[in-house]
Amino acid sequence: MDNISNIMAAIVAILKNNGLTELSLGDYAEQDDPTFIIWFDNDGTPYDDPAIKVIVENSEISVELEARDFSNNVTLQAYEIDRLEWWQGLHTGVLGILEKDGKRRCPVCGKPLRARQKYCSETCRKFAMPQPTPQEIAELANKRIQKLIARIAQGNRKLRAELIEKYIVKL
């Protein structure tokens, strides 16, 4: 998953599929790779604190941080967390906690996996696949257009050249 929206959707699905509305990530000092998130107080002062809990309510995510400079924790809403690597860390942390029961889980929906599966279904596999780049999309479109041009031109080189000039995307 290569964008924040997909990771957020996966976290919501993982918690829902495991009957949870919140999941404690545990003591950050005991985590393999805790996720630290930068947040700002009302005066605009930045703090870098570890995520300790993920909460899902009505398909909306919030994250509780251990505010180490204060005597209480801070809860951030999803829109306040704007870095892909923070979401990736939260996703990894959620799966890591759930997998402590010894079951490997689908990284998209959190359902237990069998044997050598990487995803529980084709839908989850497609969801997790990186999106094609604009370059890849243009290359695929050009291949399809060239096939159509060949069928239309039927050996007419002049027509083929005109159609290629007009319809092939320059990369």
Amino acid letter, 13: A
Q: Tell me, what's the pLDDT at 159?
A: 93
Beta strands, E only, 28-108: 36-40, 46-57, 60-65, 74-77
Could you state, in order of their start, the residue ranges of all structural domains in the chain? 4-128, 134-167
Q: What are phi and psi of 62, to 5 degrees?
A: -135, 155
CA–CA distance, 28 with 25 (Å, rounded to integer) = 7
pLDDT at 20 over 90: yes
More confident residue, 159 or 132: 159
Q: Tell me, what's the pLDDT at 171?
A: 72
Share of the chain above pLDDT 70, in %: 99
pLDDT at 134 over 90: no
pTM of the model: 0.73
Q: What length does the chain have?
A: 171
pLDDT at 86 over 80: yes
Average pLDDT for the chain: 91
Q: Tell me, what's the pLDDT at 56?
A: 96
Q: How confident is the model at residue 33 (pLDDT cuts 50, 70, 90)?
A: confident
pLDDT at 31 over 90: no
pLDDT at 2 over 80: no
Q: How confident is the model at residue 57 (pLDDT cuts 50, 70, 90)?
A: very high
Buried b / exposed e over 46-85, threshold 16 CB at 10 Å, is: ebebbbbbbbbeeeebbbbbbbeeeeeebebebeebeeee
Could you tell me which of 21, 70, 78, 16 has the C-alpha nearest to residue 47? 70
Q: Tell me, what's the pLDDT at 133?
A: 84
Q: Tell me, what's the pLDDT at 128?
A: 84
Q: Give Cα 27 distance to the centre of its chain.
A: 24
Phi-psi region of 115 (alpha: psi -120 to 50; beta: other; left: phi over 0): left
| 141-169 residue pLDDT tens | 999 999 999 999 998 999 999 998 888 87
CA–CA distance, 93 with 103 (Å, rounded to integer) = 15
CA–CA distance, 67 with 89 (Å, rounded to integer) = 18
